[in-house]
Amino acid sequence: MSGITQLSKEIFSEDIYFIRTRLIILISDPWEKLPEPDKHLLNKIIEAIHFSASQVTIISVTQTSLNELSRFNPRFIISFGVPIAGVSEDFTPVEHGDMLIIPANALGEMDQVRKEKLWAILKSRFPRQ
């Protein structure tokens, strides 16, 4: 064993752990192009379900699959207008393994009725602690 290898094992002897992403939010537009009202709505949703910015990963993608998302090992996924192969797009929560996927309309399409429908789902899945 070389001196460098031995030294690195002594300095970095602790195990490395995979930190699970708690919440992934999917949006179809790049963050920079997302209109300010949509950003504001998204921030309100994140705060309402008791998450902080450090617990959220926002991914801009036009479509994806459960296999692609599972590599992030998230607990929750909220998809705003991003089709996920094998998941309906009608606000019906889907459990896949230990992931909960909540499909919703794109942020810009969220009228009052859709916001209320999403909020009812979020309240039931993210109760106040």
**pLDDT digits 0-9 by tens, 29-75:** 999 999 999 999 999 999 999 988 778 999 999 999 998 998 888 99
| Length in residues, the chain | 129
d(CA 78, CA 91): 10
Percent of the chain with pLDDT over 90: 61
Closest Cα to residue 107, out of 42, 43, 60?
42
pLDDT score of 16: 53
Percent of the chain with pLDDT over 70: 83
Structural domain of 86:
20-125
For residue 1, pLDDT over 50 is answered with no
Contact between 107 and 38 under an 8 Å Cβ cutoff? The reply is yes
pTM greater than the 0.85 cutoff: no
User: Is residue 39 situated within a structural domain?
Assistant: yes
The domain that holds 60 is classified in CATH as: 3.40.470.10
Q: Which amino acid is at 87?
A: V
User: Is residue 9 situated within a structural domain?
Assistant: no
Q: Which one is predicted more confidently, 15 or 65?
A: 65
User: Is residue 14 situated within a structural domain?
Assistant: no
Q: Which one is predicted more confidently, 79 or 73?
A: 79
Determine the Cα angle at 61 with ends 83 and 39, to 5°: 100
User: Is residue 102 situated within a structural domain?
Assistant: yes
